[in-house]
Amino acid sequence: MTPPMASSLAVLISLVCATLASSAAGVRVDLTRIHAHPGVTPSRFARDALRRDMHRHTARRLAAASNTTVSAPTKKNSPGGAGEYLMTLSIGTPPVRYPAIADTGSDLIWTQCAPCSDHHCFKQPTPLYNPASSTTFGLLPCGSPLSMCAVETAPGCSCPYNSYNYTYGTGWTAGIQGTETFTFGSTPADQTRVPNIAFGCSNASSDDFTGSSGLVGLGRGAVSLVTQLGAGRFSYCLTPFQDTRSTSKLLIGPSASLDGAAGVGSTTFVASPATGPSYYYLNLKGISLGTTALLIPPNAFSLKADGTGGLIIDSGTTITSLGNAAYQKIRAAVVSLVTLPTSADGSAATGFDLCFALPSPKAAPPAMPSMTLHFDGADMVLPSDSYMMQDSGVWCLAMQNQTDGEVNILGNYQQQNMHILYDVRHETLSFAPAECSTL
């Protein structure tokens, strides 16, 4: 997406400043999958998810730690979006409900703020947060260590307004930074209020975030929610992709664990490049389909010294994308096991590279073996429903290829029904298969 012109941003900043002049914790959050409008076909849903994921890797309070865990309800049932999971929290005093994309692939926390016209902002499912109506809003000083001017090398920040223009590859958001009280928990009994969280008050955004009211960055950077809460760990369990009713939890803090889970595997994070983005890099050593180890070049997923390559786990990207050398091996292995005819029409409709024609629109696809991702120290086993996607009459490989050397991304479609724990303090990712709808 093309970022807004500087002059437009200056006008918007002036409007916000005029409006404003007139007037450690843990978390538990439900997650909600953003689904398309009822009239949107699965084909269009998949195509839109792929578009939103494209080149997403190019973009990418200092509260004391406590013994409290904050939770956010997390589900996947909101109209208008394509492929993300929403966490629900509230912002301001009085609190304003705020469904936001839960994103481990970025850092900035932001929501759309009034004033914000339809021309500059996307339509959201909740009323716009108005900083002038909150008794706990404050402008973040440019000298703050959480200022985007201090933590970002991109040229999208300017002072004295402490404005930002944050880019996600195909999407962007722009505004000014502030501080606010955030409320976590779905009922009064489990609610936690955390003051002075630095966030983005956006009054211009692309339309790539429809179905949400903003985004919560869960990355490793200074401005992410995880870092600001001083949390040593967090976990989530993403409900099945086609399940539009169930809710799971995002836990940030000491209660985030996999205690009692069967089949837990753990792998160590790969150190991020010194000047690179704050992604959660993993050491993926190989991939098997069934009992067959695919002959993928050993360096296909390696993080290079210059910061290129590597593989990240990203809750905000839908479809896993892999370098062409690895992807073609997976594609060929799938083709060798499926006797159905390939469908060019299905590929064109979904945006996936490989689709098969089913005998009838409601026909069940054939059985397929699991796919195993061999991480350093642990294997992540994906059932066929986590790497193949059924649409009306077609059955597609739910992965995409990209240029070798670009960052590889493990998307949320491949994370469904997997209980995942990010132990940031000990630099470890742990995971176990789970029925997330009942967890």
Cα–Cα distances (Å) from 257 to 115, 166, 250, in that order, read: 41, 32, 11
Q: Is 207 a catalytic residue?
A: no
Tell me whether strands 70-78 and 394-397 are parallel, antiparallel or unpaired. unpaired
Give me the residue label for tokens 């002072």.
Answer: 159
Q: Is 190 a catalytic residue?
A: no
Contact 81, 434 (CB under 8 A): no
Nearest to 36 by CA among 318, 408, 284: 318
Among 30, 53, 103, 391, the active-site one is 103
Give me the residue label for tokens 């999407």.
Answer: 171
Give me the residue label for tokens 């803090």.
Answer: 253
Among 314, 385, 391, 423, the active-site one is 314
β-partners of residue 174 are: 165, 204
Rounded Cα–Cα distance for residues 260 and 164 (Å)? 43
Provide the greatest CA pair distance for the chain.
Answer: 68
β-partners of residue 210 are: 212
Rounded Cα–Cα distance for residues 34 and 102 (Å)? 11
Nearest to 229 by CA among 200, 259, 193, 258: 193
Rounded Cα–Cα distance for residues 240 and 40 (Å)? 19
Q: Catalytic positions, please?
A: 103, 314
